[in-house]
């Protein structure tokens, strides 16, 4: 039974990672929603994938979030641009 479960995890993980990669190319499609679970599934079968994902998290200098909500990529761009503009306005003393 274990080989069947591992095979299903591998197939589903690869499909989710591929969908996640496609989602990274399409602005209205949230690719990370599929890519991260795919990597988690592959990490449960392949220790090297799990080590790689842990290494990526350890090397990150900062992890930040705009909110606890999930935003579309286009909304995040607008929010970040607005906050940068607001910060420069405050520093320059503009209303």
pLDDT for the residue 87:
86
Q: What is the pLDDT of residue 11?
A: 92
**C-alpha–C-alpha distance, residues 58 and 47, integer Å:** 16
Output the pLDDT for position 71: 79
pLDDT digits (tens), the chain, 95 positions: 688 888 998 999 899 889 888 887 876 777 777 888 888 888 888 888 888 888 887 887 777 777 788 877 778 888 888 888 888 888 888 87
Would you state the pLDDT for residue 43? Answer: 87
The answer to whether residues 41 and 20 touch, using CB atoms and an 8 Å cutoff, is no
Least Cα distance to 27 among 79, 90, 74, 84 occurs for 74
User: Alpha-carbon distance 82 to 34, whole Å?
Assistant: 28
Tokens of 16: 């989710």
**58 CA to centre of own chain:** 15
């Amino acid at each position: 039974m274990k080989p069947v479960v591992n095979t299903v995890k591998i197939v589903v993980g690869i499909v989710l990672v591929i969908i996640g990669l496609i989602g990274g190319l399409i602005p209205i499609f949230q690719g990370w929603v599929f890519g991260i679970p795919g990597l988690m599934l592959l990490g449960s079968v392949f220790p090297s994938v799990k080590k790689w994902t842990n290494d990526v998290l350890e090397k990150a200098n900062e992890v930040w979030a705009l909110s606890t909500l999930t935003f579309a990529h286009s909304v995040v761009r607008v929010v970040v641009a607005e906050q940068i503009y607001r910060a420069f306005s405050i520093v320059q003393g503009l209303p």
